[in-house]
A and B are shown apart, each in its own frame.
Chain A
């Protein structure tokens, strides 16, 4: 019984959302606002049970790790954001989190620069490897604005645009297919689970 009610509710909400294809209307607005409320309502108990209880409450109050009083206090400092006079206090927990950027310096240098360069430094004995090499260099030079893009140099950098266009096209194609598969999922739900027209 609860499953049937659930399917009918899900079908109604799906149709409410799809009604936006016609134009903005009260059914869509209702579904949109409901989504915001339910999503936030979902994350409060989820965070409480999966983050606060195991990592904050249990270690401090059950395992008696009293040192955790300090991050507790730092966490409370977030709430000073609500005060117009003392909102600057909330910068302390934000700064604590931002300390992570120190990791970003060597890690981003390693993962997105050195690893990529190492992958590029292969023997140019294959047409595909030569194309990848030319494409990468021409894209990098395209974004180098200290030299005017004219003459032979300008022609070479314009090859970079072509490579980027193919890359953007591929990314676009992938994104469209991901959205289409979601759409197929919803249509299957409506025709299968709800109306029972397809098995």
Chain B
């Protein structure tokens, strides 16, 4: 009941999906439509887990007066206000909800990811110091690709964009293809392990 039935569900649905791919028919298409329809109904319920988890963590921090608990008030207030605004005025263009998205979400997200430009550069300096031939190859390829993607590369010499294209289309393609073949075989093996109940970590829990 606790483990066997979920494992049976995965096995049966999984085998039906294999059949769907290998035996194209009206029945298999109907099966896919049915599955997708039900998944779309089930999916939204999962967001409650995320919301509850976030609220639980920050509520407990505030309750225990944990270090930096004041910031948890910021998180919970932002959560409640944004959600309420979305439900009261709707989520169409021009609503306060979209105003919050445009002036809070977008700049915060873009700036946070743009910060990585600085850290990626310092990490690169530490990692790429040409201590071996292989590291030098990596460094040179990265510099050429970076220069080849901006106009200064063209200004230095027209060879740089050409070499960039060659790096992307030949050695990079070979590397991507070799890794993709390994990843593909790994995905197939992992999918089989999950379907056959060998890999069960997604079930979590003890019993």
Q: CB within 8 A of A102: which of B51, B83, B115, B195? A: B195
Within the complex, the shortest CB–CB distance from A3 to chain B, in Å, comes to 9
1/0 contact string of B44-88 vs chain A (CB within 8 Å): 111111111010000000000000100110111111111100110
Decide: A13 near B108, CB < 8 A? Known: A75-B42, A98-B194, A112-B180. yes
Within the complex, the shortest CB–CB distance from A87 to chain B, in Å, comes to 6
Q: CB within 8 A of A99: which of B14, B52, B135, B150? A: B14
Measured between alpha carbons, how far is A171 from B172 in the docked complex, in Å?
Answer: 8
Q: Quick one: closest A residue to B6, CB to CB?
A: A95
Residues of B within 8 A of A104 (CB): 187-188, 190-191
Decide: A172 near B124, CB < 8 A? Known: A37-B82, A92-B5, A132-B174. yes
1/0 contact string of B100-125 vs chain A (CB within 8 Å): 11111111111111111110110010
Chain A residues 34-57 with CB under 8 Å of chain B are 34-49, 51-52, 55-56
Residues of A within 8 A of B116 (CB): 179
Measured between alpha carbons, how far is A101 from B35 in the docked complex, in Å?
Answer: 13
B15 within 8 A of A: yes
B156 within 8 A of A: no
Residues of A within 8 A of B44 (CB): 47-48, 51-52, 55-56, 75
A119 within 8 A of B: yes
Enumerate the 5 nearest inter-chain pairs by beta-carbon distance, A residue then B residue, closest first. A99-B13, A167-B175, A41-B82, A135-B174, A45-B86
Within the complex, the shortest CB–CB distance from B198 to chain A, in Å, comes to 12
Residues of A within 8 A of B155 (CB): none
Task: Give the bracket for the number of chain A residues in contact with chain B.
Answer: 35 or more
Within the complex, the shortest CB–CB distance from B128 to chain A, in Å, comes to 9
A180 within 8 A of B: yes
Q: Quick one: closest B residue to A2, CB to CB?
A: B99
A124 within 8 A of B: no
Chain A residues 49-105 with CB under 8 Å of chain B are 49, 51-52, 55-56, 59-60, 68, 70-72, 74-76, 78-79, 81-82, 87-88, 91-105
Residues of A within 8 A of B47 (CB): 43-44, 47
B21 within 8 A of A: yes
Within the complex, the shortest CB–CB distance from A109 to chain B, in Å, comes to 5
Residues of A within 8 A of B175 (CB): 135, 139, 163-164, 166-168
A78 engages B46 (CB within 8 Å): yes
B27 within 8 A of A: no
Q: CB within 8 A of B178: which of A97, A163, A165, A183? A: A163
Residues of A within 8 A of B50 (CB): 40
Decide: A37 near B76, CB < 8 A? Known: A75-B41, A169-B139. yes
Q: CB within 8 A of B182: which of A78, A117, A140? A: A140
Measured between alpha carbons, how far is A138 from B175 in the docked complex, in Å?
Answer: 9
Measured between alpha carbons, how far is A28 from B145 in the docked complex, in Å?
Answer: 33
Within the complex, the shortest CB–CB distance from B109 to chain A, in Å, comes to 7
A166 engages B171 (CB within 8 Å): yes
Decide: A29 near B68, CB < 8 A? Known: A38-B100, A41-B79. yes
Q: CB within 8 A of B104: which of A9, A111, A116? A: A9
Residues of B within 8 A of A11 (CB): 107
Residues of B within 8 A of A46 (CB): 86, 91
A96 engages B13 (CB within 8 Å): yes
B191 engages A105 (CB within 8 Å): yes
Within the complex, the shortest CB–CB distance from A99 to chain B, in Å, comes to 3
Measured between alpha carbons, how far is A169 from B148 in the docked complex, in Å?
Answer: 13
A49 engages B177 (CB within 8 Å): no
